[in-house]
Amino acid sequence: MGEDIKKTFHKRLFIIYIFALVFGFACVLRIVHLSAFSNEFSNCKDATADDLIADSTCNCTIVDNKIEPIRGEIYDDKGRILVSNYSVFDLVIDGKKLMYKFKDVKREGFYYNDQTEIKYTDNRAIYNLIEELSDALYNRFSSRYNYPKSYYTDKLKDAILKGKNVTILKSDRNSQKSRLTSDDTSALNKLPLFCSKKLKVVSFPVYYRRFYPYGELAKRTLGNINIQNKEQTGLEQKFDKELAGQKGSKKFIKMNKIKVPLEGSTEPIDGYNIKTTLNLDIQYIAYQCLMDKLLTNYADWGCVVVMETKTGEVKAITNLTRNGTEGNYYYTEQFNYALRHECEPGSTFKLASLLTYLEATPDDSSKSYHLCGCDIKGQFSNRKFDKCYDSDDAGSLHRLGAPIEIFQRSYNEGTASMVFSVYPKNFKGYTNKLDQFGIIDSLPTQLGTIKPPTIRRGAKDINTFYSTCFGAGFKMAPIQTLTYYNAVANNGKMIRPIFVKSITGNDGVIQVYETDVINEQIASPYTIERAKKYLHAVVTGPHGTAKKYAEFDPHFAGKTGTRDIWDPSTNSYLKSRNSASFCGFFPFENPKYTMIVYMYNIEKMSGEAVEVFANIAQKIMNIENFSTLKEYEKPQTNPIPVLQPKKLDQKMTQNNVLIQIVGMNVSDAIFELSKFGYKTEIEGRGVVKQVQLKGKNIVHLTLGSGS
């Protein structure tokens, strides 16, 4: 090669070198520029999805790693957790990263731990490592996953020897057992290979699950969230916007092998927390008392709603549906019956009719009506009233009775006679009056708007008018009945039932839901005052359908309802099957709570519902009285030593239930305990670790993570 050619060659090489330098510098500048001024990314393809799309204009890709926020928690009125989150993990080994530096360039070895390296040529060391890891994984997970040790060995061989990306364990989202917890991940991170910080190839993808420490309690109202198919119900659905939070994003620009984090990445904003109006103690009482009665009556379903009279705050809402077969059945929360038009109101609707009557009848005490229907039978062409006997027997209903007797005895004919006397042949006048009271309106709530009762307002026939007077032939949600009963208890002021009291974020309260007045005075104070006396007479009067509870503490007032069950298959009422209900308030003298009890398809009558009402009322007043004493008296505790988890192979009995529930998930434990009448207190999260009997029937459960 000649001297000149050499020179020229060097010159050219120099020019190329300068060009490369300038270009390289420009590239760096461009990257710095891009990362500093992220609005200039219009040229780049934003690969916010998993797959990356290269862009020809700047030869770069923007990767957006979405960061999931944590969903908000749901609390009761005293701040006790009703719905929380916990995380479960998968176990993944990236064998490809372990084996290859880049595309096809193999590593010579990898780190056993941060001190020791294993060469790929050292077969013995590699087989020892696989053996050691399979042992550790098998020992830790054999009780939770049905895999033999060879399963782990094979998976590890795929990852370490074949360089594959391998998922070794997956948490089963539907199982309480087959899952990895944070206890597992921290233990696994101590194993060889797993612990190496120099080359991280083991990862634990995380999934959040909703956690209900109190199991079935109010579950239908709290609602469900299914992350996979986005199916939601209850408060989880209606307050999804508040609970969900906002995804964060961390953007990178990717150019060849270089990955530069961009400025302006946003942190996820965790969801807000929701404080409900529910009270865990009252909720538990309502659940348990209803459950007992449903079980003994083999009811199809039942619901109870307890509302604070002055504020409209729903303190308990329980909806239980029968599952299983006769002889082996149980109840779970599946439908929010309290908020749905599943049933006829029945005789509880006589309060609505009574209000229309009293408004038009200033002097009701001097009135009387035939108990049999003789006052109104002339208005019907072919309806028969069978209750007239031409005798003076005590059993004869062909006699006159005062309105308050008719109301106590809950006579359909007498009630219709009262209404017909003030709205003769005037169904429209009657329904207009009900409208004016706000009783047959739609009812917007935080859980959605409840449609108006299905009364056939346009009906011209007398039969529709007649049966509407006593709550038959149309459907109405139990909470609608509760709302106007509460208005009577609250001296005529109708307020909206509420389920959520406030929404809070990290910076404090975001929103408070105040008591919302629907109607300041649904009827005249004089009408309301008399209506209360009628309701009290149902419990204390000589003819009252709930007179068994005349001396009961607390004093209460209300109205029973018994309806035959409508059988759509025969298009007739089933005479031997009833829906039984009671709606009322307590204590009578100064109403604090209004409650409705509804049980569907039982053999017995409304007395069963009154019994549930009375039991719940008494228990609520007991804890109210107790909580005022609690300041001075600490309850006695009898500690039981820590028990070892046992398998659920024995039948639960009163004697062994406290031992059997150790190791169970908490909602199952509460359910088992409830069968034996235990009330539960909960501390911590996870599965039952320790059980203490406090007092006679309170069980304190200490929770921890399972293993």
Binding residues for Zn ion, per CB under 5 A? 372, 374, 388, 398
On the question of a cis peptide bond just before residue 444, with omega within 30 degrees of 0, the verdict is no
Nearer to Zn ion, 310 or 398 (CB): 398
Tell me which residue has tokens 């060391």.
Answer: 125
Nearer to Zn ion, 378 or 568 (CB): 378
Nearer to Zn ion, 398 or 555 (CB): 398
Q: How far is the CB of 411 from Zn ion (least distance, A)?
A: 12
Q: Which helix (H) or strand (E) holds 609?
A: helix 607-629
Nearer to Zn ion, 373 or 558 (CB): 373
Nearer to Zn ion, 80 or 398 (CB): 398
Nearer to Zn ion, 103 or 384 (CB): 384
Task: Compute the C-alpha angle 403/405/408, nearest 5°.
Answer: 110
Question: Which phi and psi (to 5°) does residue 374 adopt?
Answer: -65, -25
Tell me which residue has tokens 């406090």.
Answer: 694
Query: Residue number with the shortest CB distance to Zn ion?
Result: 388
Nearer to Zn ion, 295 or 402 (CB): 402
What is the three-state SS of 73-111?
CEECCCCCEEEEEEEEECEEEEHHHHHECCCCCECCEEE
CB 459 within 8 A of CB 465: yes
Q: How far is the CB of 353 from Zn ion (least distance, A)?
A: 20
Please, what is the end-to-end C-alpha distance for the chain in angstroms?
A: 77
Closest CA to 196 of 274, 129, 286: 129
Nearer to Zn ion, 398 or 428 (CB): 398
Please state, in angstroms and rounded to a whole number, the distance separating the CA atoms of residues 510 and 274: 10
Q: How far is the CB of 671 from Zn ion (least distance, A)?
A: 53
Nearer to Zn ion, 372 or 664 (CB): 372
Closest CA to 417 of 461, 473, 379, 474: 379
Q: How far is the CB of 346 from Zn ion (least distance, A)?
A: 24
Q: How far is the CB of 524 from Zn ion (least distance, A)?
A: 33
Residue 509 amino acid letter:
V
Q: How far is the CB of 465 from Zn ion (least distance, A)?
A: 20
Nearer to Zn ion, 169 or 371 (CB): 371
Question: Which phi and psi (to 5°) does residue 458 adopt?
Answer: -80, -5
Residue 378: other Cβ atoms inside 10 A:
7
Q: How far is the CB of 373 from Zn ion (least distance, A)?
A: 6
Structure tokens at 439: 């009783």
Task: Compute the C-alpha angle 464/597/310, nearest 5°.
Answer: 100
Residue 91's beta-bridge partner residues?
169
Structure tokens at 96: 């490809």
Q: How far is the CB of 385 from Zn ion (least distance, A)?
A: 7
Please state, in angstroms and rounded to a whole number, the distance separating the CA atoms of residues 389 and 380: 19
Secondary structure of the chain: what % helix, strand, coil (to 5)? 35, 25, 40
Please state, in angstroms and rounded to a whole number, the distance separating the CA atoms of residues 445 and 436: 20
Closest CA to 338 of 583, 670, 39: 583
Please state, in angstroms and rounded to a whole number, the distance separating the CA atoms of residues 271 and 522: 39
Closest CA to 621 of 597, 583, 675, 585: 585
Nearer to Zn ion, 308 or 413 (CB): 413
Q: How far is the CB of 398 from Zn ion (least distance, A)?
A: 4
Task: Compute the C-alpha angle 231/233/236, nearest 5°.
Answer: 100
Q: How far is the CB of 414 from Zn ion (least distance, A)?
A: 11
Q: How far is the CB of 374 from Zn ion (least distance, A)?
A: 3
Nearer to Zn ion, 377 or 547 (CB): 377
Closest CA to 444 of 278, 312, 302: 312
Q: How far is the CB of 615 from Zn ion (least distance, A)?
A: 39
